[in-house]
Amino acid sequence: MIRSILYATDLGLYAPYVLQHALALARSFKARLHVVHVVEPMGLFAESVLQTYVDEARLKELRSTGLETVMSNIELRVLEGFRDELGDSQDDLELIGSVSVLRGDPPISILEHAQKLAVDLLVVGSHSHGAALEVPMGRTAARLLQLCDVPVYLVPMLQHRSRHE
């Protein structure tokens, strides 16, 4: 029985397409839908650029409060995007139990969040919107399929369908 679903989104070009699959599944199973977006930690290059142009006190402030503000803004953007995407469909909005924006390695953070919520199904797109056609599956999707202990509903990206049509 599927009572709760976790939809992992990269907020990319095809996120609304994957969201429609997640919502259809939630409606079909009368399940609660949880949404997660994971922000990868800042890389060494970005960190060094900040250190070059921002003094130490401001950098410390950005690390403590700035990141929290950015994460909150991303969460609001996700919710606003859902409202725009779903329009007047209040029933679909009510299916969404939570929206979380996390920091970390996407596959690991998604898996930990899925365990924390004890979901019965994970919904994810096969690629991010910038992936090359030759790549059979994105890194995050591949890792989730390898490591997830609940069923994974993998949505193929539209850009890859043109090869077969």
- Residues 87-109 have pLDDT tens digits of 766 778 888 899 999 989 999 99
36-84: per-residue pLDDT in tens?
999 887 666 666 777 777 788 877 777 677 667 777 888 887 777 777 7
Inter-residue contact 94 to 30 (CB < 8 Å): no
Query: What does the pLDDT look like over 62-73, one tens digit per residue?
Result: 767 766 777 788
In the chain, what are the domains?
A: 2-40+72-153 (3.40.50.620)
Q: What is the pTM of this model?
A: 0.80
Contact 149, 122 (CB under 8 A): no
pLDDT in tens, 14-36: 888 999 999 999 999 999 999 99
Beta strand extents in the chain (DSSP E only):
4-8, 32-39, 96-103, 121-125, 152-155
The sign one gets for the Cα dihedral 154, 159, 160, 163 is: positive
